[in-house]
Amino acid sequence: MILNGKELSKNINLRLKQRCDNLNKKGISPGLAIILIGDNLESRKYVELKKKTCLKIGVDFNIREYDNNVTDEDIIEELVKLNNDKSIHGIIVQLPLPDNLNELNILNKISVDKDVDGFHEINAGKLFLNREITFSPCTPLGCIELIDHYGIDVEGIDICIIGCSNIVGLPLSMMLLRRNATVTLCHKYTKCLKNKTLNADMIVTCCGVPKILTQDMVKEGVIIIDVGINFLDGVLVGDADFDNLKNKASYITPVPGGVGPMTISMLLKQTIESAERLINI
């Protein structure tokens, strides 16, 4: 079965629009601010998708653009302004950043209460310490929403995650552990990757290597969540060899149309939740 993130995200976005409308009736307009640095083509395309979805749902979209020569101090100065702007409920710094910038320093200057990407060390710490979470990283959260929608129970199953970034692999491993899955986290130094994947009931690929997961590496009936976004000969592909795996897997996400749309929906969901908290203050 294909795990259709594109279709699910459309349904989620419809519900988010209703929540936006309710906030508007109370005089609140959810606002998202994005800081975009440099000329990374993929980042710009991704920001355009976020803008398009914001406009459909009714979230105010604000963008601050800088060239590659910007300094940490310049970005932090802008973040302080956005932190204090009551019309802004969510702030993200589009990654990756140019090498001359200190990513950790910049991300930690975002207000914890507006960190809708979930990358501030306090929000990340709550996830890893199994505390009540305010914001979660959007791509792992999108994966969880997707498997929940299709009624996939991860309790007790063996899950292999290929890729251990702070953006996807690490936080997703914690989310799955909290649901009592048994998680194996693999990376570029992992020996005998095939041995790990062959024993897995579910495999999550998030390493950015086109079609690294092949048919001979999985067992019959495996569940495959492909987070990878790669261009191969001008074609967008995932980390899994979709065409040769789709008939062997019981569930599989396509690329595009799988996890990607869910990531944007989760970003806007957390922005709207941030705005809704104003009502309860």
Q: 46 — alpha (psi -120 to 50), left (phi > 0) or beta?
A: alpha
Task: Write a three-state SS string for 39-86.
Answer: CCHHHHHHHHHHHHHHHHHCCEEEEEEECCCCCHHHHHHHHHHHHHCC
Let me know if 117 is a catalytic residue: yes
The residue annotated as part of the active site, out of 115, 117, 201, 226, is 117
Let me know if 99 is a catalytic residue: no
Let me know if 72 is a catalytic residue: no
User: 10 Å Cβ neighbour count for 34?
Assistant: 23
Which ranges constitute the DSSP H helices of 120-258? 121-128, 138-149, 169-177, 193-198, 242-245
Q: 130 — alpha (psi -120 to 50), left (phi > 0) or beta?
A: left
Distance from the Cα of residue 101 to its chain's centroid: 22
Four-point Cα dihedral 140, 142, 143, 145, nearest 10: 130
The residue annotated as part of the active site, out of 94, 114, 126, 239, is 94
**Cβ–Cβ < 8 Å for 240, 228:** yes
The residue annotated as part of the active site, out of 50, 109, 211, 269, is 50
Residues listed for the chain = 281
Cα-Cα-Cα-Cα dihedral sign, residues 226, 228, 233, 236:
positive
- Beta sheet of 31-37, edge-to-edge order: 60-66, 31-37, 90-93
Q: Which of 227, 253, 256 is nearest to 239 (CA)?
A: 227
User: What does the alpha-carbon distance between residue 80 and residue 124 come to, in Å, rounded to a whole number?
Assistant: 21
Q: Which residues are catalytic?
A: 50, 94, 117
